[in-house]
């Protein structure tokens, strides 16, 4: 069939057309129906199906994570119990408020016991409050031999309570007297009232921080 034959076809008498033009028109009509159906209906359904598939994958991943957590829960509980025991043991190494004076005396006696001369032993006027403990820096300045100062530092580390030496500075020579400047830090645990005050102060500061961000 030539192009002239196609031009002669009467659109009002499609039933009398030859078979090939009929199939051509049917095929184009089918394409138009499919295109309209995809554009006006199927496209939204396909997008919804894709979204549901993505949601299903996310739920599957969440389920597997929860399943792993459930399987490992006994191990987590044992680990938590061990951590609490270790924490309790460490907490026992912190003195209470009533024991701080005795601890300061122990630090002083550790230096005197090694023959050191204290030129300065000055606790900070105020403790530094943490979540569950308080920190008290003590500025110290001692004079003595290299060996005695080293032994004093070792004795501090062996005290039954936690004491650390920080910002250590030495002047002099090993042959003569040395001067050691340092900051000794002692720690004590907070009692229940102090912990409650810390939590209350933290709760008050959170809204203020949120308002500042706005």
Three-state SS string over the chain comes to CCHHHHHHCCHHHHHHCCHHHHHHHHHHHHHHHHHHHHHHHHHHHHHHHHHHHHHHHHHHHHHHHHHHHHHHHHHHHHHHHHHHHHHHHHHHCCCCHHHHHHHHHHHHHHHHHCCCEEEEEEECCCCEECCCEEEEEEEEEEEECHHHHHHHHHHHHHCCCCEEEEEEEEEECCCCCEEEEEEEEEEEECCHHHHHHHHHHHHHHHHHHHHHHC
For the chain, list residues with pLDDT below 70: 1-22, 87-98, 173-175, 206-214
Domain boundaries, the chain: 21-92, 97-196
Predicted pLDDT of residue 68:
83
Predicted TM-score (pTM) above 0.75? no
Predicted pLDDT of residue 93:
62
Predicted pLDDT of residue 182:
94
Predicted pLDDT of residue 209:
47
Top CATH class of 97-196 equals: alpha beta
């Amino acid at each position: 069939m030539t192009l002239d034959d196609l031009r002669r076809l009467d659109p009002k008498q499609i039933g009398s057309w030859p078979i090939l033009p009929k199939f051509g028109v049917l095929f184009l009509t089918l394409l138009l129906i499919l295109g309209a159906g995809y554009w006006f209906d199927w496209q939204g359904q396909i997008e919804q199906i894709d979204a549901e598939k993505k949601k299903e994958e996310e739920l599957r991943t969440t389920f597997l994570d929860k399943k792993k957590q459930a399987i490992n829960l006994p191990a987590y509980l044992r680990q938590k119990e061990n951590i609490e025991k270790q924490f309790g043991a460490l907490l026992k190494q912190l003195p209470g408020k009533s024991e701080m004076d005795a601890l300061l005396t122990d630090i002083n006696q550790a230096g005197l016991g090694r023959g050191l001369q204290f030129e300065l032993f000055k606790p900070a006027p105020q403790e530094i409050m943490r979540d569950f403990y308080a920190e008290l820096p003590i500025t110290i300045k001692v004079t003595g031999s290299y060996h005695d100062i080293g032994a004093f530092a070792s004795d501090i580390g062996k005290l039954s309570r936690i004491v650390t030496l920080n910002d250590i500075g030495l002047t002099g020579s090993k042959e003569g007297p040395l001067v050691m400047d340092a900051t000794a830090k002692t720690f004590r645990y907070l009692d229940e009232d102090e912990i409650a005050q810390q939590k209350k102060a933290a709760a008050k500061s959170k809204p203020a921080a949120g308002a500042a961000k706005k």
